[in-house]
Structure formats: structure tokens, C-alpha cells
A = this chain, B = another copy of it.
Amino acid sequence: MKKPQKTKPDGQSETSAEPANKPANKKISKGQKTRQQLIEVAASLFQKQGFHATGIFDIAEAGNLPKGSIYYHFPGGKEEIGAAAVAFAGAQIAKALEEVAGKAKDPADLMTKAAALLGDILVESDFQGGCPVCLVALEVAGKVEPIRQSALEAYARWQAIIEKQLCLFGMEKKKAAAQAELAIAAIEGALILSQVQRSPAPLRRLARQLTLSLA
């Protein structure tokens, strides 16, 4: 009764914000650009500081973006930004993973390259930020369903990419699925070890060990 549909945005709300395939991007109405930038900066901050430690205005400040319009673009507040940020980060990594997978020569090479991909994130941030999906997901997995869903999709997509590529290498589907899940789990875990140890060594050693499990 109190909602005269003031032409608010929110677009198709939920998990959007993917740097994906949109061939006919006619016009990005300034505001939508701001929205996208907010998501990207948020993803970066969440990755380094986590969800709860990141103030909602820190996001705008860190990206020199209009603070006044945060709640205009994200009526759902912090949680909506969180869900969008996790979805974006997940899609970003998925994209990179697809590129890397295409270049891999064999299963072992794929494992190594995938591990190196996540490892680069760590080194680039000087071990300040790990997996952007993991941290936020664990912080609020029990309370904010949309964020949990975003994380769920991200992991599923990563796994599907690896699985598909393993199949292309001739591995049977069932084995490929199991190996892909092992790879995702092991890399995520090693990422944690590397971040805590502040050394890329665990991740590197794991990559090697992962290739040995391909027998």
C-alpha cells in the first residue's frame, strides 16, 4: 500500500553482477556503472577484511564512489551487497579458471594451473586476502541465505569447469567429477594454509601432490 513503485532499480536483483556475455550492451546508465563498481570494491574488501569487519561506507570510500547511493542501488543493505559481491567474485574466478583450463595440456597441468590461479590471488594481495567466496560464506552461511546460495553456485561452477576439462582429456565422467571435487576442496584448503602461513609453499606442494593423485 505504501509502494507507489517509484521506479526503483534493483534490476533483476538477486545474484547478478557477472562480467559475462552481454553482446548488445546498449547503455549503462551511469548509475548501473556505479552499482557495478560498488560490487567490485566490496568483493575486494570482503576478501581482505571479511564481511563483518567491512563497513558499508568503507566500500564507497575505498572506491571513491557516491556514498549516498548505496542504499539506492542496494535496498537490501549490506546483505544484498554481500550476495552480489560473492556472486561477482565467484564468476570472476570461474572466468579465469575457464581460460586456464583451455590452455592446460593434460590433467596434471590442469591441477597445477588451477592451484596457481588461486595462489596468485594470495600473492597479489601480499597474503592479506584469500578466497573471497570462502571467507564471506563461512561468516554468514548460517544466517544469510542469498549469500550462501551465491557461494554454492560459485563452487559448483568451478567444479563443473574442471570436471568438463578432465572429461575432455578422456577421463570418465564419474571419476572426473570426483577428482574435480577433490581439487576444489584441496585447493581451498591449501589456500587457507598458505594464507595463515603467509607462504605460497603449501599451495605449491599441494598442487604437486594433487597431480600424483591422478593415477
Residues of chain A whose beta carbon lies under 8 Å from any beta carbon of chain B: 48-50, 52-53, 127-130, 134-135, 137-142, 148, 151-152, 155, 178-179, 181-182, 184-190, 192-193, 195-197, 202, 205-206, 208-210, 212-213, 215
Q: Which residues of B contact A189 (CB under 8 A)?
A: 184-190, 192
18 of the cross-chain contacts (CB-CB < 8 Å) are A48-B142, A53-B139, A128-B142, A137-B192, A155-B196, A178-B208, A181-B190, A181-B193, A181-B209, A182-B186, A182-B206, A182-B209, A185-B186, A185-B202, A185-B206, A187-B189, A209-B213, A212-B213
Q: CA separation between A154 and B200, bound complex, in Å?
A: 19
What residues of chain B lie closer than 8 Å to A48, measured between beta carbons? 142
When all copies of this chain in the complex are counted, the total is 2
A141 to B197 CA separation, bound complex (whole angstroms): 9
Determine whether the beta carbon of B202 is less than 8 Å from that of A181: yes
CB pair B141–A195 under 8 Å, yes or no, is yes
Q: Are A178 and B192 in contact (CB under 8 A)?
A: no
Which B residues are CB-close (under 8 A) to A128? 142
Given A178-B208, A181-B190, A188-B189, 10 other A-B residues pairs in contact with their CB atoms under 8 A? A50-B138, A53-B140, A151-B196, A155-B193, A179-B209, A181-B205, A182-B209, A185-B192, A213-B213, A215-B215
